[in-house]
Structure 1
Amino acid sequence: MSSYVQRLRDALGSDLLLLPAVVVLPRDPLQRLLLVRHVDTGSWAFLGGGVEPGETPELAGVREVAEEIGLEVELGRLLTVVGGQRFEVTYQNGDRVAYMAAVYEAQVVGGDLQPDGTEVSEAQWFGQEQLTALDLTRFARNLAEDLRLAR
């Protein structure tokens, strides 16, 4: 949790927060998507996270990928912006967040794949046809459906 969100939580407790976020969808030459497994739930998700005060969504996306799995990415086009009830998350500690997220295509351009072990336990490339069978987070499942990634 960022210091910004921690200050909000200190003031508001577990109440619903509306937060800006970014999602990064790296693809390899075979058009597979890179997903990560969350440490806390064991579910698969897309890369991304919160946009910090003063940070652009693009910089946040690059930062989040580097922090979570050690890779450098170059962002491509903005695919969509999502929000609303389908993108609300209740964390295991009871904190509730409604994300409004900018979603970008991306390409890996450097770094060494190394999950951070704190947020992410594993990272793996998946073909779109594999997404339907994965245990995706609710957020990731809804985004995959919106982008017609899960068939």
Structure 2
Amino acid sequence: MPISPYLSELRERVGHDLLLLPAVTAIIRRGDRFLLCRQAHSPQWGLLGGGIEPLEKPEEAVLREVREEIGVDATVHGIVGAYGGEELMVSYPNGDRVGYTTIVYSCSIPIDAEFLFTDGELIETAWFTIPEIAQLPRDRWVDPIIDDASRLSETRHAEQTSIVEKAVCYVIAENRLLVFTHDDTDMLATGVQVPAGTVRQGEGAADAAERELFEETGLRGTVTRSLGTDLYDLSPARDELALRHFFQLEITDPDVTAVWQAGEADPATGGSPISWTCRWLPLSQAHVLAAGLGARLGAATR
């Protein structure tokens, strides 16, 4: 992104002199790998981020920076820490000197996200393990942030809170949403649901959405767009966080008057056969979706 009007005005007054600026940084992790990037003006690898604009909230700033730099909508999960000092002193090719104080946020992005270098600052991104990062030419401030993010992850693991990735399907036709309700379980326990399920190891989230739609309804559909992600806390039912990837899907020639039964004769979790009834629910009633499954429905209808 080009220099902001606010910073441009400051530079007109102070020239290339040192400026102390607030900033945000995104630490994005996938398994044992971290997302690093490289800018056009530097051979060093670093992390996504940038300055906070006047009146902008830090969390909004980190989401904006990720969107501007790689064209992806991220989800913020918490703060890793705040960093500054000599390691964050930067001298730019034009002579500008900046000392950053940055708030680092733990973020996630959709598994199947395609990176677009929309603001022209970055020329390369890649995923690295910590041993691989140690072999890279990198910004001095990368190491302490990666170390703290790793310890934070280990602490969460020690607390036995696991994150499970899920794919959630919105199939909309004629202002109706495809839903189902369980036949043999109290509605108070299961509520109204949309097709959804766990992303398998090595499977893309969009592929999981198409698979779950077929397995749960018998309908074949195609993902038309990603609606982003949300983190849903399943406690106290389970000590688990669900990282939900929301997708809008399309099927050919849907019959929105149809009502039909589906189910599992041999559930993967064991137990007796289960069945559910599929139907098309008017969008005006879709607020009844259970357990946060409607979190991205507004985005699907805009």
Indicate whether the TM-score tops 0.5.
yes
Matched residue SS, 1:136 = coil
The structure with more radius of gyration: 2
CA distance in 2, matches of 1:129, 1:119: 26
1:131-142 equivalences under 5 Å are: 131-141=133-143
Give the conservation status (yes or no) of the 8 Å contact 2:68–2:119: no
State whether structure 2 residue 38 is matched by structure 1 residue 71.
Answer: no
State the 1:76 CA deviation: 1.3
CA distance in 1, matches of 2:65, 2:27: 12
Give the conservation status (yes or no) of the 8 Å contact 2:26–2:106: yes
Query: Which amino acid is 2:132 matched to?
Result: Q
Give 2:115's match in structure 1, choosing from 113, 120, 136.
113
State the 1:112 CA deviation: 2.5
Give the conservation status (yes or no) of the 8 Å contact 2:80–2:148: no
Give the conservation status (yes or no) of the 8 Å contact 1:81–1:101: yes
State the 1:31 CA deviation: 3.1
State the 1:83 CA deviation: 1.2
Give 1:15's match in structure 2, choosing from 14, 17, 21.
17
Residues 18, 143 of structure 1: CA spacing in aligned structure 2 closer, same or farther, 3 A cutoff?
Answer: same
TM-score, length basis structure 2: 0.46
State whether structure 2 residue 10 is matched by structure 1 residue 2.
Answer: no
1:2-151 equivalences under 5 Å are: 2-28=4-30, 30-109=31-110, 111-116=113-118, 118-141=120-143, 143-144=145-146
CA distance in 2, matches of 1:117, 1:124: 18
Query: Which amino acid is 1:114 matched to?
Result: L
Query: Which amino acid is 2:69 matched to?
Result: E
Query: Which amino acid is 2:36 matched to?
Result: L
- After superposing the two structures, state which structure 1 stretch, 76-85 or 137-146, moved more: 137-146
CA distance in 1, matches of 2:126, 2:115: 10
Residues 89, 141 of structure 1: CA spacing in aligned structure 2 closer, same or farther, 3 A cutoff?
Answer: farther
State the 1:122 CA deviation: 1.0
Residues 62, 49 of structure 1: CA spacing in aligned structure 2 closer, same or farther, 3 A cutoff?
Answer: same
State the 1:142 CA deviation: 5.4
- After superposing the two structures, state which structure 1 stretch, 63-72 or 103-112, moved more: 103-112
State the 1:32 CA deviation: 1.1
CA distance in 2, matches of 1:145, 1:16: 28
Q: Count matched residues.
A: 148
Question: Which is bigger in relative contact order (C-alpha 8 A, separation at least 6)?
Answer: 1
CA distance in 2, matches of 1:43, 1:69: 18
Matched residue SS, 1:129 = helix
Matched residue SS, 2:74 = strand
Query: Which amino acid is 1:83 matched to?
Result: G
Matched residue SS, 2:141 = helix
State the 1:146 CA deviation: 6.3
Unmatched tracts of structure 2, length 5 or more: 152-302
Residues 33, 137 of structure 1: CA spacing in aligned structure 2 closer, same or farther, 3 A cutoff?
Answer: same
CA distance in 1, matches of 2:34, 2:82: 19
Give the conservation status (yes or no) of the 8 Å contact 2:81–2:104: yes
Q: Please give the root-mean-square deviation of Cα atoms over the aligned residues, in Å.
A: 2.0
Deviation string 1:47-94 (CA, Å, 9 cap, x unpaired) is 000000011111110000111111111011101101122211111111
Give the conservation status (yes or no) of the 8 Å contact 2:27–2:149: no
- After superposing the two structures, state which structure 1 stretch, 79-88 or 61-70, moved more: 79-88
State the 1:144 CA deviation: 4.1
- Alignment identity in percent? 37
